[in-house]
Structure 1
Amino acid sequence: MVSVPRALAVPMIEAAFPRRLHPYWPKLQEKSRTWLREMRLMPPDKVERYADSLCYTDLVAGYYIGAPDELLTAIADLSSWFFAWDDRHDRDSVHGRAAQWQQLCQGLHGTLDEPRRYRHHKDPLVAGFADCVLRLYSFLGPSWNARFARHFHPVIDAYDQEFRNRRCGTVPTVEAYIELRRLTFAHWAWIDLLEPTARYELPDPVRKHPAYRRAARATQDFSAWYNDLCSLPKELAGDELHNLGISLIQHEGMTLEEAVREVHRRVTECVKEFLEAEREVLQFADELAEGGDGGTELADAVKACVFNMRNWFSSVYWFHHESGRYRVDSWDDRSMPPYVTEESLAENELVGEE
């Protein structure tokens, strides 16, 4: 197990959140490499050199314990796609490719509503997203599919807002950033995916139960803000404007060291908040089990969902210290990740315009 720098260490997670991996994980790595090549989301040489060390499959294999293998593979591909989309967003922002970016956003919005229509789109990011969405839509049915789409449309819009912020040099205030980050991290889409993992679509009163929502938000806020904490050097080097630490420095007058401590404090509070909410959710599940008419099955699904919420903490935590995505000090160019090439991005964008 890798060592964790003191400024990034969260002892509660190391002590109380055991790390787990789905048993399908080794096969998942192989399938992910094949999918990235086939969908042209990374050049073949980059796939061979960097895909495993980026640990994208490790991340997902620790989130969704109990998922059917086919579902886990689809979620893993969505996660890899998300990182590729994030890289395109960064490079399009840096180079001011507004027209290409708008075309991409339009294609992604269309994909959520008609994924089959976009499966063979010439832009690899649109086609890859369509492939993932089609597979995910096959597990629970129309109402879950519609909810996933409702939750993901605002994610695309939030990325577009970040694109516009970067083009005009706007650093969001802390509160504005927190709300924006909950969208760019796709909080509720990842939470939705707990249900097909549990093989059960939760009814609205259960999903909207205050304790369930608090537990879900705590695990997602932790994941987003811990990512901000670990990616701060990378994002400062790349002139990024969207990071909780950057907003604290810009709008609260903090030094870099103070901002790091404050993000770390908020991350730790998320863990405490989850532990409190988790107890309430498990009590709620016990009450459901006593209700008859399928209550036991529903209670088991709720417990499975909150179990995997818990797994987000350890998976996200260790991912950030194992993945080459955050080793900015080892890059030749601190502003340009070695697993991304401008040539491949430009080629993809031109293909998308044909």
Structure 2
Amino acid sequence: MPPLQNFSVPDFHLPFGNAKHPLAARANAEATSWVVRHELVTSAVDQFAGIGCGHLAGRVSGDAPYERVLLLAQWMAWSFVLDDQHDHLIRKGEVAAWRPVVGAITEYLDTGRITSPDLARNPLVSGFAELCDRILAGLSPDAATRYRTHVRLVLASLDQEAGNRGGSGRPTVEEYILLRRHSSQILPMMDMVEAGLGLDLPQYVHEMRELRQLVASVLDVISWGNDVFSLPKEHSCGDTNNLVSLVAAWEGRSLPDAVRAVEQRIQVRIEEYLAGRRRLFEVLDADPSTDPPLRDAVARYVHSCEDWMIGADLWQRYECTRYRDERFAAGLESAYTRPDLVSVA
């Protein structure tokens, strides 16, 4: 498809403040060195560094110790390579090569070992194993269970997106919204930030309907905003895993009108988040078992949710070159993508 003309991202009017970790730039440099050291990226290193994983990590975990910010930045860097490699295999019609790699990642997630020596040497798999060990070492048993569950859902969502692009049918808007909450890859990162901030909310709090609805709002605001930022690339390469494209197709709108419709959806979702935040604390305050330390921990978690929404937006607008890159806007693969990273046996 031809590139979008005169495209601009609207202001989503996020009513939150944000303080970035003072060592975010250092985390970005070190995360870039990490992917190079693991041979996940072997060329166009400056382009990869321009993604700004350390800046995003610093915006969503500004109060965390530096080593936690760095670990998150490295996980984000790995996640971007994972996503770009998956895109490469879809473009080449070689998605079958993806399954053994995902199988090895899942095996390590479940058992802490990889039975195939060849797969254990794959940079995507070995990089995951190193990060997974470090991440799980800092999580409580309940948090580790959530993290494992969320990683599995991320991997499954990538399969679903591949199916959407492979001709299995365009998802409805409602189906896509549920899928996007996992393909955004944010939930495992939220688990990491919670631990990095020294929080460990009880499992029953995580299971509260009010908190689950709040987190869903956060995921939607971030994901829908990202779909607007990435629309030029996904439109150019014919990828319909994008809320704007789906709204245009299902509602018979032009792309500019669909962008405005998604912008309006985001504003509604922000209002729903604010109302949900009030409901959450009303429920907590009405429960006699809610002591001051728990309420304070939930308040810090909620503040972290707001850091995620505004931090992701600021990062995309001002610190990430990915969405301004001409190759990206033209729907081309990233220059740093390794075509030999995952190959058909």
Question: Is TM (by shorter chain) over 0.5?
Answer: yes
Q: Secondary structure at the match of 1:61?
A: helix
1:147-186 mapped onto 2 (5 Å cutoff): 147-168=146-167, 170-186=169-185
Match of 2:59 in 1: 62
In 2, distance between residues paired with 1:62 and 1:148?
A: 21
Checking the alignment, whether the CA contact within 8 Å between 2:32 and 2:77 is kept in structure 1 is no
Q: Give the drift of 1:239.
A: 1.8
1:248-327 mapped onto 2 (5 Å cutoff): 248-283=247-282, 291=289, 295-322=291-318, 323-327=320-324
Distance change in 2, residues 1:332/1:207 (3 Å): closer
Please, which runs of 5 or more residues in structure 1 have no aligned partner?
none
Q: Give the drift of 1:250.
A: 2.1
Match of 1:108 in 2: 105
Match of 2:339 in 1: 345
Q: Name the aligned partner's letter for residue 280 of structure 1.
A: R
Q: Secondary structure at the match of 1:172?
A: coil
Give aligned-pair identity as a percent: 26
Distance change in 2, residues 1:262/1:209 (3 Å): same
Q: Secondary structure at the match of 2:50?
A: helix
Q: Give the drift of 1:68.
A: 2.6
Q: Deviations over 1:75-125 (max 9, x none)?
A: 111111111111111110011112211122212211321345489822211
Checking the alignment, whether the CA contact within 8 Å between 1:140 and 1:199 is kept in structure 2 is no
Q: Deviations over 1:18-53 (max 9, x none)?
A: 23102331321221121111111211x422x22332
Q: Give the drift of 1:236.
A: 0.8
Q: Deviations over 1:255-307 (max 9, x none)?
A: 1122111111111122212222223334556567x747xx3332222111111
Q: Secondary structure at the match of 1:8?
A: coil
Q: Secondary structure at the match of 1:349?
A: coil
Q: Secondary structure at the match of 1:17?
A: coil
Deviates further, 88-97 or 277-286: 277-286
Q: Name the aligned partner's letter for residue 237 of structure 1.
A: S
Match of 1:46 in 2: 44
Of the candidates 72, 83, 87, which is equivalent to residue 69 of structure 2? 72
CA RMSD after TM alignment: 2.5
In 1, distance between residues paired with 2:194 and 2:183?
A: 21
Checking the alignment, whether the CA contact within 8 Å between 1:29 and 1:52 is kept in structure 2 is yes
Of the candidates 8, 23, 26, which is equivalent to residue 10 of structure 2? 8
Deviates further, 33-42 or 183-192: 183-192
Q: Give the drift of 1:197.
A: 2.4
Match of 2:95 in 1: 98
In 1, distance between residues paired with 2:126 and 2:268?
A: 39
Checking the alignment, whether the CA contact within 8 Å between 2:211 and 2:280 is kept in structure 1 is yes
Q: Name the aligned partner's letter for residue 345 of structure 1.
A: P
In 1, distance between residues paired with 2:18 and 2:317?
A: 14
Q: Secondary structure at the match of 1:331?
A: helix
Distance change in 2, residues 1:333/1:76 (3 Å): closer
Aligned residues: 336
Checking the alignment, whether the CA contact within 8 Å between 2:57 and 2:70 is kept in structure 1 is no
Q: Name the aligned partner's letter for residue 95 of structure 2.
A: A
Of the candidates 76, 80, 84, which is equivalent to residue 83 of structure 1? 80
Checking the alignment, whether the CA contact within 8 Å between 2:29 and 2:54 is kept in structure 1 is no
Q: Secondary structure at the match of 1:254?
A: coil
Q: Secondary structure at the match of 2:137?
A: coil
Deviates further, 33-42 or 180-189: 180-189
1:188-267 mapped onto 2 (5 Å cutoff): 188-267=187-266
Distance change in 2, residues 1:19/1:127 (3 Å): same
Distance change in 2, residues 1:239/1:220 (3 Å): same
In 1, distance between residues paired with 2:193 and 2:32?
A: 24
Q: Secondary structure at the match of 1:205?
A: helix
Distance change in 2, residues 1:78/1:223 (3 Å): same
Match of 2:20 in 1: 21
In 1, distance between residues paired with 2:329 and 2:260?
A: 27
Q: Give the drift of 1:205.
A: 2.2
Give the TM-score, by structure 1 length.
0.86
**Greater RCO, 1 or 2 (C-alpha within 8 Å, sep 6+):** 2
Checking the alignment, whether the CA contact within 8 Å between 1:182 and 1:221 is kept in structure 2 is yes
Q: Name the aligned partner's letter for residue 44 of structure 2.
A: K
Q: Give the drift of 1:155.
A: 1.5
Please, which runs of 5 or more residues in structure 2 have no aligned partner?
1-6
Q: Name the aligned partner's letter for residue 133 of structure 1.
A: C
Match of 2:4 in 1: none
Checking the alignment, whether the CA contact within 8 Å between 1:7 and 1:261 is kept in structure 2 is no
Q: Name the aligned partner's letter for residue 60 of structure 2.
A: Y
Distance change in 2, residues 1:27/1:116 (3 Å): farther
